[in-house]
Structure 1
Amino acid sequence: MAHPLVTPRPGPEPEPLDPRTAPAPRYGTASLADLLPALTAPHAVPGVAATGLELPGADRNCVFLVDGMGWELLRAHPDEAPFLTSLLATSLGGSGEPLTAGFPATTATSLASVGTGLPSGAHGLAGYSVAVPGERRLMNQLRWQPYTDPHLWQPYPTVFELAQAAGIESCQVSSPTFEHTPLTRVALSGGTFLGRLTGEERMDLAAERLAAADRSLVYTYYSELDGMGHRYGVDSDAWRGQLMTVDRLAQRLAEQLPPRSALYITADHGMVDVAAEDRIDFDEDWELRAGVALLGGEARARHVYAVPGAAADVLAVWREVLGDRMWVAGRDEAIAAGWFGPYVDERVHGRIGDVVAVAATDDIAVTASHNEPGESSMVGLHGSLHPAEQLVPLLEVRT
């Protein structure tokens, strides 16, 4: 039976999607978690796990991460990003292929994967918001609310810390706003943090710091593209204008690279615009709410936490209602499918929803208008395993 808040599709009623068919991130060979381990591999940094991603060695490595610049979005806008477009063939060491962000494709998770070299099942930032095990509350891992001890929540060292200890001068060049945040502490700390307000200042300082030592590892970040996508959508002039700015910044940095350097330009996730008629409001939907204690994650990658004893019923209802446009899996199914990586730490297991519902198409979102008014008003969304959100570039410039 069609759900009253889902637009019926012509023809016979579709079968639910099998979560085992979802395209799991390519952990170990081509995910964001593999990037820093690949860059530090030629330097044999103690404590950094080996990865199957192979990149040419360089004495000086710089990562420029653009929040929200998905692979498909970049390829669709060559006029706005001529410099970045010219680098597409250099992706993944010349193969012309993208990386996968990891699951979920969201900022807190991806930044932790970049910084620690670990998938979300290990570092534990397994969603935009997740349940605190043993407590009936959600923790927002981007805003870090309510506060939780960062190093109990994410105990592993970052690659920056390990590289610094091995004699590689490491630093992060970003907005001053992020210097003392818990997310920075658990995901990107190590070496020196240098705050600069403008993108131009960050590019210039990143190049300067790259040249300051014989061996260096520099990370710099730009968030405004993502903000325009959330506010106005990726089909907006505001978003396209920001992409033009990103293109100029990337070229500015590339033109200042010192000798023996490699610059890698990547992103934490892509984004899709979801129309109002394709959004289902959990807070107004009695059927989806039945048996649910907490709704975590975000609109295209939901963690659903059931009241005790109701997990099987919640899974059945979510599959019936949403299963033709979302991969809907029980916790153990999602873990076995490799969505969170090849293994999940015991401390992370309870942070994953009893049910995990992930958008499989670009025309579905589960919002929560009362409990998440800000997030529900966003035009551009992300989080899922859909290629538009999951695939991110890895563009290379070498000197």
Structure 2
Amino acid sequence: MAYATWDHPEPLALDSAPLPEYGSGSLADLLPTLAAGMAVPGMSASITELTPADRNCVFLIDGLGWEQIRAHPDEAPYLTALLGSSRGGTGRPITAGYPATTATSLASVGTGLPPGAHGLPGYTVRNPATGQLMNQLRWQPWSDPAAWQPYPTVFQLAAGAGVHSAQVSSPHFEHTPLTKVALSGGTFHGRLTGEERMDLAAEQLAAADRSLVYTYYAELDGAGHRYGVDSDTWRGQLMHVDRLVQRLAEQLPPRSALYVTADHGMVDIPFDEQHRIDFDEDWELKAGVALLGGEGRARHVYAVPGAQSDVLTCWREVLGEQFWVASRDEAITAGWFGPPDRFDERVYDRIGDVVAAAHDDVLIIASEREPKESAMVGNHGSMTSAEQLVPLLEVRS
């Protein structure tokens, strides 16, 4: 997969969008590959270079893109070493999936399914049953989790096959609907600090001959959103993350593999009208739009009935040199949300009539509807390499 920067005098061609590597190198392929190596029925090893291990731990660091590690070797010496093949491990980038956002990516990790199958295709999407926008990270307004995402998680399948399965995360996440639909199965262990999570994850790995453990750290992402990935605060968080990874790696029990990954990368967007286009102040973009979903770099646009074609034409004319702008059917057929033959029809109306993915360093903010999101320094969601490429770093014992 090649990423590049182009100067487009014409609207961006949809086939120039660098698609996630569904089926061979995406977040949705990681847990099924590990579970297949532990003989869990129904799982297949699509990331073919990974060697099976009896004990597998996935440490997901929210907001840690591949490019961000490469740009900060001094702050992350341990992670930087893992980018190559030293310390007994190997490192490569994989893709998050579209959109590159937390709720979508965590569902892809936990279910082993692309977004068009698991059905969490954005930060906010329309609930066809109510016509309202649903925030899939905060699960607001509430919707029945089992109906929204009906497929079993890999953890549930692994536990059913006799594999010791556990999640080690913040206590805050234990009972959330997102955890229920994306990461449940086996046992949940809440710990407040990163150090406690690393120690307990190692203990859970050693608890059985076959084990699958997931652990998570969110604070790096928060620092990026609030201060940007070019800030001292973010760099300080990266230094802390680097020490956490080393702490866990040095405690791995025998026959273990640790995989460090992330849900998305991040880009800092300048605060000016050129880089932040305000939907709430732009009459052209608002014309014919009933709901604005998604997030600044990965928008779902829901048109009023009968206005779909006009909205698509307008968004292409206004944004086509800065965004890949597709109709719902075009985005699905192109494979933005996963292979078209794996797309679940229940997800169809959750996706915008128009889907806009940022190519340049630009946002579509909504200063009145989304004041907090519109004020964020660091952003993500689209298909650029800074957002899509996440690490797959391996340490074995």
TM-score interval, smaller chain: over 0.9
Identify the residue that residue 345 of structure 2 maps to in structure 1.
346
For residues 48 and 176 of structure 1, the distance between their equivalents in structure 2, rounded to whole angstroms, comes to 29
Residue 12 of structure 2 is aligned to residue 17 of structure 1:
yes
Cα drift, residue 134 of structure 1: 4.5
Kept in 2, the 8 Å contact 1:211–1:258? The answer is yes
Identify the residue that residue 234 of structure 2 maps to in structure 1.
239
Identify the residue that residue 281 of structure 1 maps to in structure 2.
278
For residues 71 and 41 of structure 1, the distance between their equivalents in structure 2, rounded to whole angstroms, comes to 26
Kept in 1, the 8 Å contact 2:303–2:353? The answer is yes
- Given candidates 184, 193, 208, the residue that maps to 1:189 is 184
SS at match of 1:74: helix
Identify the residue that residue 376 of structure 1 maps to in structure 2.
374
Identify the residue that residue 3 of structure 2 maps to in structure 1.
none
The percentage of counterpart residues that share the same residue type is 75
SS at match of 1:170: strand
Cα RMSD of the aligned pairs, angstroms, is 1.4
- Given candidates 303, 307, 325, the residue that maps to 1:310 is 307
- Given candidates 258, 261, 265, the residue that maps to 1:263 is 258
Identify the residue that residue 217 of structure 1 maps to in structure 2.
212
Identify the residue that residue 117 of structure 1 maps to in structure 2.
112
Unaligned runs of 5+ in 1: 1-11
Cα drift, residue 136 of structure 1: 2.4
Unaligned runs of 5+ in 2: 1-6
Kept in 1, the 8 Å contact 2:90–2:393? The answer is no
Cα drift, residue 52 of structure 1: 4.8
| CA displacement, residues 24-63 of structure 1 (integer Å, 9 cap, x when unaligned) | 1000000000000111112221233553544101000000
For residues 52 and 218 of structure 1, the distance between their equivalents in structure 2, rounded to whole angstroms, comes to 19
Kept in 1, the 8 Å contact 2:30–2:47? The answer is no
For residues 367 and 390 of structure 1, the distance between their equivalents in structure 2, rounded to whole angstroms, comes to 20
Residue 99 of structure 2 is aligned to residue 99 of structure 1:
no
- Given candidates 142, 164, 175, the residue that maps to 1:180 is 175
Kept in 2, the 8 Å contact 1:296–1:304? The answer is yes
Worse-matched range after superposition: 180-189 or 341-350: 341-350
For residues 213 and 44 of structure 1, the distance between their equivalents in structure 2, rounded to whole angstroms, comes to 15
Residue 83 of structure 2 is aligned to residue 88 of structure 1:
yes
For residues 118 and 390 of structure 1, the distance between their equivalents in structure 2, rounded to whole angstroms, comes to 17
Residue 392 of structure 2 is aligned to residue 391 of structure 1:
no
Report the residue type matching 1:164 in the other structure: A
Q: Which TM-score applies when normalising by structure 2? A: 0.95
- Given candidates 130, 133, 144, the residue that maps to 2:128 is 133
Across the two proteins, how many residue pairs are aligned to each other?
Answer: 386
Q: Which TM-score applies when normalising by structure 1? A: 0.95
Cα drift, residue 184 of structure 1: 0.1
Moved over 4 A (4+): 93-96
For residues 48 and 365 of structure 2, the distance between their equivalents in structure 1, rounded to whole angstroms, comes to 36
Kept in 2, the 8 Å contact 1:90–1:395? The answer is no
For residues 50 and 334 of structure 1, the distance between their equivalents in structure 2, rounded to whole angstroms, comes to 27
Kept in 1, the 8 Å contact 2:284–2:314? The answer is yes
Residue 352 of structure 2 is aligned to residue 356 of structure 1:
no
| CA displacement, residues 82-129 of structure 1 (integer Å, 9 cap, x when unaligned) | 0000000249x9775300000000000000000000000000000000
| CA displacement, residues 126-147 of structure 1 (integer Å, 9 cap, x when unaligned) | 0000001143210000000000
Identify the residue that residue 67 of structure 1 maps to in structure 2.
62
SS at match of 1:270: coil
Kept in 1, the 8 Å contact 2:100–2:381? The answer is yes
Report the residue type matching 1:74 in the other structure: I
Kept in 1, the 8 Å contact 2:34–2:45? The answer is no
Cα drift, residue 339 of structure 1: 0.5
- Given candidates 326, 332, 352, the residue that maps to 2:329 is 332
Cα drift, residue 269 of structure 1: 0.1
SS at match of 2:351: coil
Q: Relative to structure 1, is the Cα distance of residues 364 and 186 closer, same or farther in structure 2, using a 3 angstrom cutoff?
A: same
